Every structure is written in structure tokens, then in C-alpha cells.
Amino acid sequence: MRTYARMTGLYAPTLKEDPAEAELASHRLLLRAGMIRKSASGLYSYLPLAWRSLMKIEAVIRDEMEGIGAQEMLVPILTDGELWRQSGRWCAYGPELMRLKDRHEREFALGPTHEESFTDLVRNELRSYKQLPVTLYQIQDKFRDELRPRFGLMRGREFIMKDGYSFDADVEGMQKSYNDEKGAYARICERVGLRALPVVADSGQIGGDTSVEFMALADAGEAEIVYCDGCGFAADTEAATAPINLVEGEEGDLQKLETPGCGTIADLAAFLKVPEAATRKALALVDGDGKPWVCFVPGDHEMNDVKAEHAFGAYHMMSDEELAQYGLVKGFIGPIDLPEGVGSCADESLRNSSWWTIGANDAGYHYVHAKQGRDFTIGRWVDVITAKAGDRCPKCGAPLKAARGIEVGQVFQLGTKYSETMGATFADPDGIEKPFQMGCYGIGVSRMLAAVVEQHHDEHGISFPVAVAPYEVEVVPLDVNDDVVWPVATRVAEELLAAGVEVIVDDRKERPGVKFADADLMGFPYQVVCGKKAIKNGNVELKVRATGERTEVAIDEVASLLSARVISDRA
Amino acid sequence: MRTYARMTGLYAPTLKEDPAEAELASHRLLLRAGMIRKSASGLYSYLPLAWRSLMKIEAVIRDEMEGIGAQEMLVPILTDGELWRQSGRWCAYGPELMRLKDRHEREFALGPTHEESFTDLVRNELRSYKQLPVTLYQIQDKFRDELRPRFGLMRGREFIMKDGYSFDADVEGMQKSYNDEKGAYARICERVGLRALPVVADSGQIGGDTSVEFMALADAGEAEIVYCDGCGFAADTEAATAPINLVEGEEGDLQKLETPGCGTIADLAAFLKVPEAATRKALALVDGDGKPWVCFVPGDHEMNDVKAEHAFGAYHMMSDEELAQYGLVKGFIGPIDLPEGVGSCADESLRNSSWWTIGANDAGYHYVHAKQGRDFTIGRWVDVITAKAGDRCPKCGAPLKAARGIEVGQVFQLGTKYSETMGATFADPDGIEKPFQMGCYGIGVSRMLAAVVEQHHDEHGISFPVAVAPYEVEVVPLDVNDDVVWPVATRVAEELLAAGVEVIVDDRKERPGVKFADADLMGFPYQVVCGKKAIKNGNVELKVRATGERTEVAIDEVASLLSARVISDRA
């Protein structure tokens, strides 16, 4: 850094209006702040401010990777089609894999991920267990021809990714490499200012997870998750099987009640003055083999599509015509006197529930005090409900919270999937050739920037955490032609620079209102406003972007005070 | 940096044998040192050591770019075919441009350079002269489907490039931007340890150059250049027109001499006991229009193919049959009594040469004392000879030197070539729309690494300059299991690390010979050899890789001594 940066020397074309195509805050604000521009569908240029933030994210990643002994390198983007054929992914990948032929008609793919390349790289060079473990990674543009690219940097067709691959001699080694990466990923998220949860995507047979997705909490996220503030448990609602707070119906003799117009759970609960959780919901569907089922779930829970596919195959919910065809009464279905040929099943959470409030298979009637075992039995138990806020943490029992999440990273134990198909082996201590135990680890670097903006913005614009801010401090002279104001602004900027702070001066001949608006939009964490009035008292105004807090600080002290604060924020 | 690096934690698979396919030193040594690996024709992976060097080159580029106010950013690699059609390069580029279609059959190119992308980026955002100048750049993988990829990193199909683009309001502004880049490029070459010359590729009409290629001097270079150590002049031999040291024949009456068997200049000069420069060479050719010519050049110079095409169009040298057909006697052609219909012309350097020793158009005979104007005249003057060592510098007259060069960078004044065809305009102070005056600037980053190796190696391996060395110091404990040697090695490594030096310890259980060979191969600038004998005297041995110089240094002093030296080398 030779001198402080100046706004007049910065290519950051801001937009006054919200771009019509931008639905998400990150997409909208990164466009408005002049940080990104679309060049074609799903293809974005990172302008200088965004690039500075991305370089900081990359630096954090590099530092954490160095900490766990992972080595950075770079393989070509162009990957030989032959490698993809060896792994079986040339056909399996489908149209998302961007393919081309070179001038000699040889087929290549633009790497969407590089398991094949790295496996190929080491397969003839890592020959002995003595050379293991090795973890290699790169930071590189990746390509996926998304069917519907959208949300700016969230789901693009070319994006920056950190991808890493570990090679170990045995499962224990792989698990250590995997856990090292998992730890580093959690630290990376924290250091770039992201509140992110490690969501277990897959659990191994011997306990412990074999794949975790790092989800940055944000309303804009595509994934729904439940998590426990107490013990740190987190899971995708589609994957989680959490104990629910089951509410029983009242005990008593079976009683058929007239419940006119109560065709929904909400209506029924209101009519009976009981919580929805005390009722039971009946869902009628036809499974992948064409067999009709009624599936009962707690009244306050939904059936989850992914889980239901596990249970029923390529199922569909019954249409009104199908309900009639099978003799089922919409809104009033129950387990007692189910029409013949229709199977009964229920979610596992109801297995120990004795007293049900449930439809009577008679239009306008429900049963109360229906007792499982006495009045009806369930033929089959399935795991089909979506976990939700208030369900109990399966680890510690505390109430779960629900949130949406943006997947910013994933760690994965691959095992020998690629090393076996591609013949990548090493000699163990007995000289026996064995396939590598591999892991793969990815971070969406450009998506991470978008996630940071989703978590750090308000109605005025972006509010960057210091760790990834394009500049840490903006000095705002209210009048660059004023011979009192300008010298103070440059003095403060030079002192901040000398103290190692990244500072930019808004040296434009613009009205204060324009400068304030752009400063808030671009989201530099601290603003030092230099105006005539405060300077008369020997002061400048310090504004904290995140809180809006403003204080007058002595010109003589602002650089030392602010640099100490910035340096502490970085850590 | 948390701890010193260890050789056992480094993925650098060295090769004992020279790879058969590698002709150039850089290709061979980068492969042998485990720094690069080929994944397919013209496609290389950069392994961790090479990646560290590349990152250092990139850091130097970034620093110098910041110094001239250029802003880093990144545009997508996938560039819309439509942009290439607008500039006219979709058709013009030919098969080197790698093309593909996305899932919607839209055409894209993998950027080989990004004039179109950057012009497109600014054309709707830079609207006023007040926003100019702007210089933007990126460091990115580039793609060119070379017909014959070769020489490792020298000519690959995917390579790392820094490409920059300047946008100015007028020609003077463009020239300033261009000169700023040219200065930065010279400093970048110097800082990475490259002896490189700025070779004028194209001169403008109003004086001064409009394009310069930065040529790293190396025998492996594809370009031939002449340069002047005195004034810094440098030019491609194909482009240079340098005054030569013309030697005249002797004065006297025209005399026809028997010169049996002297069909070549060398034979003739030896027979007459005169320098080759005192003779004149006759070259018979047929020009693009089918007209036969004899072209005379100084006996010690060659005709240059590119210059000859300028003079004669799609010419060819006469075959023996054609010589016979036109009545020319191979080896004995001269300007006196040339057969009818054959044009006579000569290189400009002979315009003021009076006395020629030249063929007599008679087998076995030459003329001496042939006087221009008295005995013959030349019909046409052309500029066709290749400059060579010993010719005089056109700027200062000093003798030129000749060398081969690797093009590592180029700066270019584009003018309005792209801004006009793509409609990229701004409003001047009078509100009139004008096209941007553009410049473009490229550095082959990965090729620069290869060039550094070409200039810095010997028979034992690479000898990196500190500025781009993967590690600055290697500590070599001769026996890692020795409880005297190992503690000294780790102490020295830790002290060097604490002093800010990048250090790697060869902690392998290998014989000293293997360690020495690998250290010399990988080319770390300094080696600290820790052996039992020296340690007994309180010393370690310091080896300077570049010179081979070895000195014993006190254990207590080696870190402070070496860190001071390394830090001074960096600058």
C-alpha cells in the first residue's frame, strides 16, 4: 500500500434504483454498490470492491488450510473426458457438466469439481503408505450449467470454489483428515463473519458423521434446517428425525362427534378447543407400486417429500377423484373402518401415542378418545415428518429452532469411491496394494461473499464485517475544496494508513447526502466524517456502520483509536 | 505461518531421470523437481512448490499495478459468443479460440484475452470524461487451443495470464496509461529476477512506440533479438533496421577472376582472403506476382523472411530448375550482364557501397573492383536483411548484441479499435460522444515462471532468485534421528521463521546425498546444512545455491545473518 485509495480512482458504478431482476438482498446490494455485474445468464464479473472482499475470504481460507497442513496447488480447468469416463461421471453428470471438443475432436469438460483430476494426479506418484496422508486443495473458477441460474452469486454457472482432496492409508486417517477440514471450515465461517451451522448431511454406520454441510443462516437460504442452541446439533429438516412434543388426546370411551365443516386440522382444533398437536392428520397417497395408503401424522407436522419418497417410492398424493374411487372422505379420514384395500400407516412419532382425535371416515364426523390397540391398529410405521421449531433436540432434548440456510461449504468422506474405480492405489506396510481412503472438501467462495451480505445488511445497504470489508475505513470529507476540511481528511487518512488500516477517501465533488448514501451502500465498517463544524471543535465524527452509532472524536486521537479497534475486529 | 514447513509434508514428487518429452531446461527441471505435471497435451497442474512461486509473481504484479492505480477485478472465463461477433473476432480468431454451447445452445468462448468483456463491462457505465482514466486488470486462466502445444509452461493451452485494459478520453491519456504500464512491466521483470528487454514491436507515426514486447533473454526463446547494452535499444531481428559495418571491396579497374569451386560466400571469402562482409551475396527469387528478381545483400548478412514478404509479397526462392530457366548460374550471380527480364535489387545497406566483389554470371568466375554506377546499376532498393550481432545500434551507434528471447509480456496501444466496433463511448466536455482510447497489457504469469527457470538454473537444477523462490531457505539436517543434529536444525528453522524467513526443513530419513541433490534440484536460494562435525565446533554450513559458495557459520549467528541477507535479496 503506497497511498490511501480514493473514490475517484475506484471503479464502482453504483445504481440508484433497485435492479428489477434481483430478488435477494445480496444480489440487489452487490449490484447497487457497483461490486458485481452480470455478463450473461449466471455469469458475473467481480468488480474491484467485490474482488477485494473475495481476496480476503481467500486469505482466510489459505491461512486455515495452512494450519491443518493442506497444500495449495492448481489443476487445469479443462479436464480430459477420458478421466470422467473412468470414474463413470461422464454419463452420470448430465447437462450440468459443460463439455467441449478441442481442435483434434478430443473431449473435455470444464471442471465442476475435480475428484478425477486429483485422483489422476496422485495415482502414479503416491506409491507408499509412508507418503501419506496428503491433502491438496485449490481455489479456482468452477463451471456448472445450471438449468435455472439465479440469485446473483448464489447459483451461478461460473463461480469461485475452494476444493480440496485428502488421501489417506486407512479409514481412521481419512476421518482425521475429514475432522481437520471440518474444524477449519467452522473457523473460516466464523472468521469471515458468518453465523453458520455444521449440518449433518449423512451419518456413518459406526457413529459420527461422514458428511456435513456448513449452512449460513439467512432467510434467503434454499435449505430449511433445525438446530439446537444448547448442544450445537443441526440438521436439514429433510434429514432430521427429532423427537416431537407429542400431545395426547383425552382418555375415555370411543365417541363419534359431529364436527361440521371441520375439514382441516386448524378448523378441527379450533372447534374442539385443543392444540393442533393433540389431533392426528390423515394423508392419502398412492405409492410407487400403485397401492393406496392413508398415512397418519401429528396434527401440527407436515409430511416431508424426501422422506416420503424413501418410504413410498415414486408416490403421489390422491386427487379428489382417487379419494372417491377408494371410498375415502376428504377431510374426515381415520383408521377406524378404513375402506378395504387401503393400507394404514403412521409416522414413527405416533407409535406410542394411545389416544387419538381423528376422522371417522364419515363426512362431518370425527372420533375422540380413539385408542390405538383398542379401537384401531396401524399396519406400518414410517419416518415421514419434517422436523420443525419446537421439536426436541435428538442429542440433548432442548427445543429446536428453525431457520433457513445457505450452503457455503461441505466436507465429505469419499472412502474408496474414486480410488477404486480409477485404480489409485498405494503399497501398505506389507507391500499390498490398497486404494486410497479419500475425502473431499468444498467452499463456495463467491457464494460465501453473497452469504456475508445476506447476514450483514440493512435497508441502507451492506454492512461488512471488518474481516471481509473491501476497505476498513472510509474517510468522508464533506467538502473536498474546503481548505480546512480537506487537509484534516488527508491527515486522518494518512495516519490510518500508517497504522496499517485499509482506508479509502471519498474525494468526489459530491453533496454530503450522496457520499453518505454511497458509504452506507458499500458498507465500509467505519466512516470518519470530516465536516467544518466538528473540525472547529478539533473533532471529526466517527460512524459505526453496523450500529449507526456516531461519536465525535478528537482529530488528534481518531487514527490511534480507530486503528486499535479495526485491528481488534480483524482477529 | 504457524510453523516451519517440512519436506515430509510437501507434495513434490521428484524424478530421478530427465523426462523424455522435455526439450527445454524449464520444462525438464519443473517436471523433475515435482513442481508441474502434465494432465493432457498443453495442460499442466501446478504442484505446491510451483504454486508458491506463482503466488509470489502474482504478488509482485499486484504491487506494481497498485502503484500505477490499476484496479484488480475478475470477469468470467466464459464469454458470450455475441460479444465476439460484435468485435468481429468470432470468425477472425480461428481454431485457437475454444468454443462451446451451453444447454440452451447459446455459444460461448473460453477467453484467450478479454478485450470484448472489458469493453462491454464499461460501455454502459463509464459515461463521462470525468470518470476517466480507468485501468482494470485481472489474473486468470486463459485458453488457446494451440496447434502444437509444447515446451511445458512456455506454450500451453491453458495458462495463467495477467491481462489489463485502460480506458482514456484522448490519445495523450492513453499514452500515459500505456507508459505507466510499460514502466510497471519493466519493474515486474526486474523484481522477479528476469533479465528482460522491452522490444519495440510497433512504432507510431508521431514518434514513440505503440507496442512493446518484454523479452526475457534465454537461449530457449522463440524470438531472435538484437539489443544495445549502451542505450537500451532492443528490437526483434525481424523488425530491426540497424546500420551495419559495411566493408567495401578494393578500388580498381573491373577485373574478372577465376574462382573455381567458390559457389558460396564462405568459399569465396577464403579464396580471396577477404572478410565475408567485403563480398556481396546474390539471392534469386520469384515475387508474389511471378516476376524474377536477383537481390543483393552484404556477404555476411541473411535475408529476413518477414521483411522479404513485405518487399516481394508471397515470394519464393528460385529452385535449381527456375535458376536454369531464367539463365542464372547458381553460386556465381552478379549485377553485370544479368539475363534479360530478371530485375535487380539490393538491400538499403548497399545503397552507398561503391566497390563490390560479386558473381560474374559465369560459372567459376567473380568480379572484383565492380563499381556501382560505373559497371552496373541497381534497379530497386529494399529493406530485407536480418540484423545481427555487431551491427550498429540505430540509436547510439554502439555495436549490437544478439540474443534469443521469451515473450513474457506485451503492452499495446489499441486506440479505438474495440470501442468503435462495440459502440463504447463517453461524453466529452462538450457533451459529444466519443469512443474510448484503449490500451491492453498482458503478462504470461505461468510462462514467466518458466522464463525465470530458463535464466536461473545449472546442471544440478533450478536456482531460484529469492523473490520467486517457493521457500527462501532449506534447512538440511544430515541425520534427523541424531539428538545433536535435529535440535540444532529445528532451532535454526524456528529462529529463521521468527525472523520472517520462509523456511523448509528436509526432515526425511534419507541419505545426505539424496537431500543435497533434491535441494539443488528444487533450487531454494540458501541451504543450511546441519551436520555432526560442524556442530561440534558450534557451526552449521551455509550454502548459496546460485554460486555454490559454502561457509561455516556459528549456530548462534546463522539466523540473524541469513535473515538479513534474505530480506535484502527480496527488495
Per-residue model confidence as pLDDT tens digits over B155-201: 999 999 999 999 999 999 999 999 999 999 999 999 999 999 999 88
In chain B, residues with a C-beta closer than 8 Å to the C-beta of A47 are 73
- Cβ contact (<8 Å) for B121 and A2? no
- Cβ contact (<8 Å) for B51 and A40? no
B73, B139, B140: best to mutate for the A interface, most A CBs within 10 A: B73
pLDDT-above-90 percentage for chain B: 89
- Cβ contact (<8 Å) for B48 and A80? no
A57, A65, A75: best to mutate for the B interface, most B CBs within 10 A: A75
Cell of A283: 394423508
Tell me the shortest Cα–Cα distance from A116 to chain B, in angstroms: 11
Nearest chain A residue (CA) to B5: A69
Nearest chain A residue (CA) to B108: A40
In chain A, residues with a C-beta closer than 8 Å to the C-beta of B140 are 141
Does residue B342 register a pLDDT over 70? yes
* pLDDT 10s digits, B538-553: 999 999 999 999 999 9
B95 lies within 8 A of chain A by CB: yes
In chain A, residues with a C-beta closer than 8 Å to the C-beta of B107 are none
What whole-number distance in Å separates Cα of residue B78 and Cα of residue A44?
10
Nearest to A9 among B2, B69, B98 (CB): B69
Residues A360 and A336 sit within 8 Å (Cβ to Cβ): yes
Mean pLDDT computed over A103-123: 97
Q: How far is CA B329 from the centre of its chain?
A: 41
What whole-number distance in Å separates Cα of residue A414 and Cα of residue A407?
19
pLDDT-above-70 percentage for chain B: 99
- Cβ contact (<8 Å) for B136 and A48? yes
- ipTM of the prediction: 0.91
Mean pLDDT computed over B554-558: 97
- Cβ contact (<8 Å) for B77 and A121? no
Residues B475 and B528 sit within 8 Å (Cβ to Cβ): yes
Provide the pLDDT for residue B206.
58
* pLDDT 10s digits, B410-455: 999 999 999 999 999 999 999 999 999 999 999 999 999 999 999 9
User: What is the total residue count of chain B?
Assistant: 571
Does residue B506 register a pLDDT over 80? yes
Among A448, A381, A371, which residue's Cα sits nearest to residue A408? A448
Mean pLDDT computed over A373-383: 95
| Segment among A194-208, A236-250, B128-142 with least mean pLDDT | A194-208
Does residue B221 register a pLDDT over 90? yes
Phi-psi region of A478 (alpha: psi -120 to 50; beta: other; left: phi over 0): alpha
Q: What's the alpha-carbon Rg for chain A, to the nearest Å? A: 30
In chain A, residues with a C-beta closer than 8 Å to the C-beta of B74 are 45-46, 51, 54
Q: How far is CA A171 from the centre of its chain?
A: 28
| Segment among A222-231, B470-479, B481-490 with least mean pLDDT | A222-231
In chain B, residues with a C-beta closer than 8 Å to the C-beta of A2 are 66-67
- Cβ contact (<8 Å) for A39 and B103? no
- Cβ contact (<8 Å) for B71 and A39? no
Provide the pLDDT for residue A351.
94
- Cβ contact (<8 Å) for A103 and B125? no
Mean pLDDT computed over A314-339: 95
CA B489, B495, B501, B507: dihedral to nearest 10 degrees? 20
What whole-number distance in Å separates Cα of residue A544 and Cα of residue B45?
45
In chain B, residues with a C-beta closer than 8 Å to the C-beta of A11 are 71, 73, 122, 134, 136
Residue ranges of domains in chain B, CATH in brackets: 25-193+413-453 (3.30.930.10), 255-382 (3.90.960.10), 471-570 (3.40.50.800)
How much is the pTM?
0.91
Residues A125 and A425 sit within 8 Å (Cβ to Cβ): no
Burial pattern B112-143, b for ≥16 Cβ within 10 A else e, equals bbbbbbbbbbbbebbeebebbbbbbbbbbbbb
In chain B, residues with a C-beta closer than 8 Å to the C-beta of A69 are 9
Tell me the shortest Cα–Cα distance from A213 to chain B, in angstroms: 27
pLDDT band for A63, please (50, 70, 90 cuts).
Answer: very high
Between strands B526-530 and B473-477, the pairing is parallel
- Cβ contact (<8 Å) for A47 and B126? no
What whole-number distance in Å separates Cα of residue B133 and Cα of residue B143?
29
- Cβ contact (<8 Å) for A100 and B98? yes
Q: What are phi and psi of B81, to 5 degrees?
A: -55, -30
pLDDT band for A206, please (50, 70, 90 cuts).
Answer: low
Mean pLDDT computed over A534-548: 97
Residues B254 and B371 sit within 8 Å (Cβ to Cβ): yes
Which residues on adjacent β-strands are paired with residue A100? A108
Mean of all residue pLDDT scores within chain B: 95
- Cβ contact (<8 Å) for B51 and A69? no
A1, A6, A16, A39: best to mutate for the B interface, most B CBs within 10 A: A39
Q: What's the alpha-carbon Rg for chain B, to the nearest Å? A: 30
Question: Which chain B residues in 132-151 lie under 8 Å from chain A, judged by CB atoms?
Answer: 134, 136, 140-141, 143, 145, 147
Provide the pLDDT for residue B202.
73
Residue with cell 572484383: B368
- Cβ contact (<8 Å) for B75 and A39? yes
A117 lies within 8 A of chain B by CB: yes
What whole-number distance in Å separates Cα of residue A473 and Cα of residue A464?
11
pLDDT band for B33, please (50, 70, 90 cuts).
Answer: very high
Give the count of beta carbons closer than 10 Å to the beta carbon of residue A396: 11
Provide the pLDDT for residue A209.
82
- Cβ contact (<8 Å) for A78 and B147? no
What whole-number distance in Å separates Cα of residue A38 and Cα of residue B418?
20
Question: Which chain A residues in 27-66 lie under 8 Å from chain B, judged by CB atoms?
Answer: 37, 39-40, 43-48, 50-51, 54, 66
Mean pLDDT computed over A100-113: 97
In chain A, residues with a C-beta closer than 8 Å to the C-beta of B9 are 69, 71
Cell of B24: 527445454
* pLDDT 10s digits, A29-48: 999 999 999 999 999 999 99
pLDDT-above-70 percentage for chain A: 99
Residues A30 and A446 sit within 8 Å (Cβ to Cβ): no
Mean of all residue pLDDT scores within chain A: 95
* pLDDT 10s digits, A278-310: 999 999 999 999 999 999 999 999 999 989 999
Cell of A255: 365417541
What whole-number distance in Å separates Cα of residue A330 and Cα of residue A323?
7
What residues contact B48, with CB distance under 8 A and at least 6 apart?
A71, A72, A73, A136, B10, B11, B12, B470
Q: What is the DSSP letter of A169?
A: S
| Segment among A392-401, A498-507, A530-539 with least mean pLDDT | A392-401
Q: What are phi and psi of A8, to 5 degrees?
A: -70, -20
In chain B, residues with a C-beta closer than 8 Å to the C-beta of A1 are 66
* pLDDT 10s digits, B288-317: 999 999 999 999 999 999 899 999 999 999
Nearest chain B residue (CA) to A100: B100
Residue with cell 445476506: A454
Nearest to A77 among B11, B136, B158 (CB): B158
Does residue B11 register a pLDDT over 70? yes
pLDDT band for A207, please (50, 70, 90 cuts).
Answer: low
DSSP helix/strand/coil, B398:
coil
Does residue A1 register a pLDDT over 60? no
Q: What is the DSSP letter of B303?
A: B
Provide the pLDDT for residue B205.
59
- Cβ contact (<8 Å) for B74 and A46? yes
